[in-house]
C-alpha cells in the first residue's frame, strides 16, 4: 500500500476515526462506571453515532486538510465537528429511546451529562493527537534526513512576514532538498528575537553580513515584497557583499495571480533596478485601434516595443525584420497571450530596400511607425562604416520618406546616447538619423509627427555587455573590461520600451526625447556584482582583465548635446526630457547625404565629420 497516496491517507484517517469514536465512548463508560446493560446500549448506538461523526468530519473538510502543515484553522475545524457530534449523540439517544430501544435514562441514569462531555473530549483528544503526531513525526524525519544527507545549503530568510513563512513552508515541503532555513532577519524590531515556523529571527537587514558568516549561510532568499524598490536595492547590495547565492521571492499578489510562483535567482537587473515606470494610459491611446509598424521588430528593443504596444489594443502590429526566427517566436508569444487581438503580422525585409518598404506600406498603410532597426555594435561598425551608413542613415531616410508619402500619423525613431558628441561611426550615423527625423518634420509640415527617442545601454539586449560577461563567467573567466574607469548608463528593456511608447504620444513634431537614465554605472562594479551573483568571488574564482579601449569607444557617455542642454525641458513624465531641434541648413544637409550615399568606405568618416561637426574619433 502506498502510504504517500492521498486516497490511502484518507482511508487510514477514516479507519482511525471509527476506532477512536467507539473506543472513546467505551472509555467514557468505564470512567462513569456504567453497568453492563449500559454497554449493550452503547453497542446499539455505535453505528448511528459513528456515521454522524464521520459525516460531520467530511462536512467540515477535516479529511481535506494537509496535517503535515496543520495549524489553528485545521484544529478549529475538527473541534467544531467533534463538538457538534457530541451534541448530536444526545439527540441520537433520545430518538432511539422514542423508537423503543433500551437506552438508559438520560436525565437520571447512566448516560448523564458527564458521560457525553467525557466521551466528546476523548474523541477530540485522540483525533487531534494522531494528526499532530503525524505532523511532528514527518517534520522530525525530515530534519533527521537533512542532518544525515545534507545538501550543504544553509539558508537565510530576509523578511519574517507572510512571504517568509510561505518560502519556509515550501522548503519544508521539499524535504529541505533546496536548502534548510537556519536563520531569518527582519527590520521590524518586534519580530527580532522571535521565530517564524521554528526559524529564529536574529537581527535586522543591517546584520546580514555578520549573521551570514556566523551561521555559515550558503543561500540568502529575499522575501520582502512590500518593501520599496530603494530598500530592496540597498538590501541586495548588502547581500552581494556576503558572497552567498542570492534568490528573491515573488510577491504574494504574483503568487495568487499565478504570474510567478517560483523563487528565482537575483540578477544584475535587480541590482540596477529603479522605481517602476508608470505609463500615462491617456497619452498611449494614440495606439488604440491603429495599424502599427515596428521595424527591427524581432530584436531586443523591437520585440519589447511590440509587447508594450499590444497592451493598448492596436488593430494590428506589423513586425518588419530581416531575421525571421526571432520575429516568428515573438508572433507565437503574442498570439498565445492576446488570442489574435491585436493581429500580429510578419513581413521580412530590410529598411535598406525602399521597394520592399513600399510594398509593406502599400499593403498595410500603417498609422504609426516605430523605427528600431539599426546596426548598433560599435567595434563592428568601425570595421564596416559603409554598412552602418546604408542601414542606419539611409534605412531611416527610406522609411521617413515613405511615412510622409503614406501620411503616417506618428513616426518614432530609436536613437542612442552615442549620438551625442560621437567618437565612433555608429554614434555618428545615429546622430545623422536624428537630423533626418527633424528634416522630414520640417518638410512634411506636420502631416506626420516625427520624433526620436535617445537613451543609453539596455540591460540584456543582444550584443550588450551583460550577455558577454555571463558567457565569460560560465567559461571560468576571465571577464574582460576595456578600462577600469569606464562608465555607462543602463536601463531595462521594458523600461526603455515603455518610455518610447509614451514619448510617441507626447510628440508634437521634431523633438528628440531624452530618457532619464539615472546615474551612470561603473562597468567594473557591474562585472564584480555579476561574478558575485553567479556564486564566485571576483579576482579569486573569476579574474577580471583590462584590455584597453576599443576603436571608437569613450570612457563615458552623454545624453545631450551642448546646444541642447540649456534648452532641455522636462515633460509631464519626469523620466522623459525633450530637446528642441538644432538649427540646420536643409538643402545643404540633402547635398551632404547625397555625397555620403556615393562615398567609398575610406571617405565615410570624413563626410560624417562634415555632417556631424562634433564627431571626433576616439584617440
Residue holding cell 574619433? 617
Buried b (16+ CB within 10 A) or exposed e, 108-140: eebbbeebbebbbebbbebbbebbeebbeeeee
Residues 6+ apart with CB under 8 A from 304: 493, 494, 496, 497
Strand ranges for 401-547 from DSSP E: 410-416, 449-455, 457-459, 479-481, 487-488, 490-492, 511-515, 521-522, 544-546
> Quick one: CA torsion of 428, 432, 438, 440, rounded to 10 degrees?
-160
Please give the Cα distance from 146 to 141 (Å, whole number).
Answer: 9
Residues carrying an active site annotation: 418
Per DSSP, the chain holds a count of helices (H) and strands (E) of 22, 22
| Helix 586-598, helix 601-611: angle, nearest 10 | 170
Tell how strand 199-203 and strand 195-196 pair up. antiparallel
Cell triple for residue 181? 532555513
| 3-state secondary structure at position 220 | strand
Would you call the peptide bond into 92 cis, given omega within 30 degrees of 0 as the criterion?
Answer: no
Would you call the peptide bond into 439 cis, given omega within 30 degrees of 0 as the criterion?
Answer: no
Please give the Cα distance from 269 to 247 (Å, whole number).
Answer: 13
Please give the Cα distance from 516 to 491 (Å, whole number).
Answer: 9
Residue holding cell 500619423? 409
Amino acid at each position: 500500500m502506498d502510504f504517500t497516496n492521498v486516497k490511502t491517507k484518507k482511508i487510514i484517517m477514516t479507519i482511525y476515526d471509527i476506532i477512536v469514536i467507539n473506543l472513546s465512548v467505551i472509555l467514557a463508560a468505564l470512567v462513569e462506571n456504567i453497568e453492563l446493560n449500559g454497554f449493550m446500549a452503547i453497542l446499539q448506538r455505535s453505528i448511528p453515532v459513528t456515521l454522524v461523526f464521520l459525516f460531520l468530519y467530511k462536512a467540515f473538510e477535516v479529511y481535506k486538510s494537509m496535517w503535515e502543515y496543520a495549524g489553528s484553522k485545521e484544529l478549529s475545524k475538527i473541534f467544531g465537528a467533534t463538538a457538534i457530534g457530541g451534541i448530536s449523540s444526545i439527540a441520537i439517544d433520545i430518538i432511539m429511546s422514542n423508537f423503543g430501544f433500551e437506552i438508559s435514562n438520560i436525565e437520571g441514569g447512566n448516560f448523564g451529562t458527564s458521560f457525553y462531555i467525557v466521551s466528546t473530549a476523548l474523541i477530540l483528544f485522540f483525533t487531534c493527537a494522531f494528526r499532530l503526531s503525524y505532523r511532528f513525526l514527518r517534520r522530525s524525519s525530515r530534519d533527521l534526513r537533512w542532518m544525515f544527507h545534507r545538501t550543504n545549503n544553509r539558508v537565510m530568510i530576509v523578511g519574517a512576514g507572510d512571504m517568509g513563512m510561505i518560502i519556509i513552508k515550501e522548503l519544508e515541503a521539499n524535504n529541505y532538498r533546496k536548502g534548510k532555513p537556519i536563520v531569518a532577519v527582519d527590520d521590524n524590531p518586534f519580530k527580532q528575537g522571535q521565530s517564524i515556523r521554528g526559524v529564529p529571527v536574529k537581527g535586522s537587514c543591517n546584520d546580514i553580513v555578520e549573521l551570514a558568516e556566523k551561521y555559515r549561510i550558503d543561500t540568502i532568499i529575499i522575501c520582502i515584497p512590500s518593501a520599496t524598490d530603494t530598500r530592496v536595492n540597498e538590501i541586495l547590495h548588502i547581500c552581494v557583499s556576503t558572497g552567498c547565492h542570492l534568490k528573491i521571492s515573488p510577491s504574494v499578489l504574483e503568487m495568487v495571480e499565478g504570474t510567478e510562483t517560483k523563487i528565482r535567482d537575483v540578477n544584475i537587473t535587480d541590482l540596477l533596478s529603479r522605481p517602476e515606470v508608470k505609463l500615462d494610459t491617456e497619452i498611449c491611446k494614440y495606439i488604440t485601434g491603429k495599424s502599427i509598424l515596428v521595424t527591427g521588430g524581432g530584436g531586443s528593443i523591437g520585440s519589447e516595443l511590440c509587447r508594450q504596444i499590444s497592451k493598448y489594443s492596436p488593430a494590428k502590429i506589423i513586425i518588419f525584420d530581416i531575421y525571421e526566427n526571432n520575429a516568428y517566436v515573438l508572433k507565437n508569444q503574442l498570439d498565445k497571450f492576446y488570442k489574435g487581438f491585436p493581429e500580429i503580422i510578419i513581413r521580412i525585409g530590410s529598411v535598406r530596400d525602399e521597394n520592399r518598404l513600399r510594398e509593406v506600406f502599400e499593403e498595410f498603410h500603417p498609422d504609426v511607425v516605430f523605427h528600431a532597426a539599426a546596426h548598433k555594435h560599435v567595434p563592428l561598425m568601425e570595421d564596416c562604416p559603409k554598412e552602418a551608413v546604408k542601414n542606419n542613415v539611409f534605412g531611416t531616410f527610406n522609411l521617413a520618406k515613405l511615412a510622409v508619402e503614406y501620411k503616417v500619423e506618428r513616426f518614432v525613431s530609436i536613437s542612442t546616447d552615442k549620438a551625442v558628441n560621437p567618437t565612433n561611426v555608429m554614434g555618428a550615423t545615429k546622430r545623422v538619423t536624428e537630423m533626418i527625423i527633424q528634416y522630414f518634420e520640417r518638410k512634411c509640415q506636420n502631416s506626420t509627427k516625427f520624433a526620436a527617442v535617445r537613451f543609453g545601454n539596455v540591460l540584456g539586449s543582444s550584443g550588450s555587455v551583460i550577455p558577454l560577461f555571463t558567457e565569460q563567467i560560465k567559461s571560468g573567466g576571465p571577464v574582460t573590461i576595456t578600462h577600469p574607469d569606464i562608465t555607462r548608463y543602463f536601463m531595462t528593456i521594458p523600461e526603455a520600451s515603455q518610455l518610447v511608447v509614451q514619448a510617441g504620444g507626447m510628440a508634437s513634431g521634431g523633438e528628440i526625447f531624452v530618457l532619464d537614465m539615472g546615474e551612470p554605472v561603473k562597468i567594473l562594479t557591474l562585472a564584480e556584482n555579476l561574478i558575485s551573483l553567479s556564486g564566485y568571488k571576483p579576482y579569486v574564482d573569476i579574474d577580471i582583465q583590462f584590455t584597453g579601449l576599443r576603436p571608437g569607444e569613450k570612457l563615458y557617455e552623454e545624453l545631450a548635446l551642448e546646444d541642447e542642454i540649456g534648452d532641455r525641458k522636462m515633460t509631464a513624465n519626469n523620466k522623459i526630457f525633450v530637446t528642441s531641434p538644432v538649427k540646420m541648413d536643409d538643402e545643404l544637409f540633402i547635398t551632404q547625404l547625397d555625397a555620403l550615399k556615393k562615398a567609398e568606405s575610406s571617405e565615410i568618416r570624413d563626410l560624417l565629420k562634415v555632417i556631424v561637426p562634433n564627431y571626433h574619433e576616439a584617440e
